[in-house]
Chains A and B, each alone.
Chain A
Amino acid sequence: MSAAALRSAAPLALARRRRPLGLAIGGAVALLVILVLGVAAGSVAVAPGDTIGILASRLLGLDVPRTWSSAAETIVVELRLPRVLTAMVVGLGLAVAGATFQGLLRNPLADPYVLGTASGAALGAAIAVILPVRTLVLEFGLLHGLAFAGALAAVFVVYRLSRVGGLSPLTSLLLTGYAVGSLLAAGLAMAMYVSGAGLRQIFAYLLGGFDASSWLRLATATPLILGASAFILLRARALNGLLLGEEAAAHLGVDVRRERAVLLSLGSLVTAAAVAVSGLIGFVGLVVPHVVRLLVGPNARLVLPLSALFGASLMVVADLAARLLGEIPVGVVTAVVGAPFFLYLLRRTRSGYEV
């Protein structure tokens, strides 16, 4: 066999790299279309033309001739728009956090929840449900507050505990995250066991959803998620250096200890804000960065912004599907779509990690 034939027969299925600018423009257009569809569709359908008209008149202040009812306007502006935008921001945040944790931990199986945020948030939410206290500050109940605090507290504990012992920092972080997560899961199981009538509410939180979105909650979570994501994007260099390992990153000018602490904090902040408003929605943060890497390669300068774009679109579509299927939990939709896709990714990813 000739050398050329050998080469073509060899299983080098590295997908051809796509142009990042084209992907960005295509992704942005797709996101706009998806947003309009997300606002138009639902149990009460509003014609896409009317939807655009309402959005143009209310958001852009344009003088559009009114062809719609005031009920349609209320549905679009007060219910659908905050819901769709919340899904967009949460999808963006989870995808960016996923790309960050995968790069930081140098682990393709990492997701935004890997260092205890998910179990911390879940336990916080469960405790809020079983506590006989009901408060509401700026539309935020105890559930949102304790979920946010629980997520951040869990990561903080994992980070502090991982800094002792002789393991490499990365292995230690992952194993500590697993151990603390298991402990919190036991707490969650206990809380669910004693929750009685609150069980359904805890379940709804664990599966995630956007049916309870509001403008005020959106306005609180958005600056946190977008702000922290922007800071992560500015540190893409560090994530690129870490591609070849922590020592290699140091040789390439990355202050590994500092970047690890900063990126861990920012990624956890994004995740905590996302899970506080939407519950635990899986697979978006795991799968989206992999798809983007398949298209443009591992450069974090491209992976982070494109993951943000695709994660936002995917979450709006998932929420739309959940609504059209009769308000099933969004987490069920993302798992049903994401798990098979992840298996497909695993199959086409060959083993052999070393360079």
Chain B
Amino acid sequence: MIRFERMTVAYRGRPVLSDIDLLVGVGERVALVGPNGAGKSTLLRAAAGIVAPVAGSVELGGEPIARLDRAAIARRLAVVPQQATLPFAATVEEVVGLGRLPHEDPFRGHRPADRAAVAAAIERVGLGHLLGRDARELSLGERQLVLVALAVAQAAHVMLLDEPTVHLDLRHQVEVMELLVDLNERDGTTILAVLHDLSLAAHFFPRLVLLDRGRVVGDGPPAEVLAPERVREVFGVDPGLVRTATAT
């Protein structure tokens, strides 16, 4: 469970998020949508304890996140960033293996349970054919899948994703969405994902949170949040461009 209470986040004195009150309950699947610069990524970073709010609070599982150390947060919460950089050659398997860092034995490193979790995550995300490849040579979409697999291997109760489908082709977009649904429904993982594709969000997520200029301006089922007049107002586009078939 993640709870934001009257949270304000500012970068260099300029507020990016203002007065956010939001509760993502255990086992929920929530998509965070909104125009560029609305503060979606910042909300994720605040939820992960990377940026500290200037006012208000963030709680993870009932505890103020500011009081948890990084290792405790990493065991409860996994983050899929938009991209990451590698300074040295590393195989897909080695990169996904980094997801076990919060769990591994400080002296012995990976144990059989860790190796099994890595293999299962690679299998689940469908990266078996890329196992021994240098992760730096993959396509943008493949690298994004590697980062998703890393977070799956981390086996946390909460998963935050920052636009996980942005570089993926249509088939892989759908596959990642189905994986998130599966993680949520079968494993009970709480999912909070920033998504740009409103149709995808509306189809796969039962609850949408709409951010605009640092404030929550909509929260609820897709049909309600993406009502035509609101899409026109927030995104400034013809609402006919967005199909809001609700999650099945």
Contact = CB atoms under 8 A, between A and B. Distances in A.
A243 B86 contact: yes
Contacts of B133: 12, 14
Contact of B104 (A237, A297, A352): A237
Task: Choose among B83, B95, B98, B137 the residue with the greatest number of A CB atoms under 10 Å from its CB.
Answer: B98
Contacts, number: 117
B70 A253 contact: yes
Contacts of A172: none
Interface stretch (B72-80, B119-127, B169-177, B219-227): B72-80
Contacts of B83: 354-355
A12 B130 CA distance: 12
Contacts of B74: 251-253
B84 A108 contact: no
Contact of A253 (B73, B135, B137, B138): B73
Contacts of A349: 89
B137 A12 contact: yes
A125 B184 CA distance: 63
Given A248-B84, A350-B136, A355-B143, A240 B89 contact: no
A353 interface: yes
Nearest to A235: B106
A248 B143 CA distance: 14
A254 interface: yes
Given A237-B106, A293-B89, A245 B84 contact: yes
Task: Choose among B89, B98, B109, B140 the residue with the greatest number of A CB atoms under 10 Å from its CB.
Answer: B89
B112 interface: no
B109 A301 contact: yes
- Chain B contact residues: helix, strand, loop or mixed: mixed
Interface residues of A, number: 37
Task: Choose among B85, B87, B99, B135 the residue with the greatest number of A CB atoms under 10 Å from its CB.
Answer: B87
Contacts of B132: 14
Interface string A245-289: 101101111111000000000000000000000000000000000
Given A12-B134, A237-B104, A252-B101, A354 B86 contact: yes
A244 B97 CA distance: 12
B146 A355 contact: yes
Contact of B102 (A247, A253, A298): A253
A107 interface: yes
A252 B102 contact: yes
B101 A241 contact: yes
7 closest Cβ contacts across the A-B interface? A253-B74, A253-B71, A253-B102, A244-B84, A251-B79, A106-B87, A252-B101
Given A243-B87, A251-B77, 8 more contacts: A102-B88, A250-B70, A253-B70, A253-B101, A297-B89, A297-B91, A298-B89, A354-B86
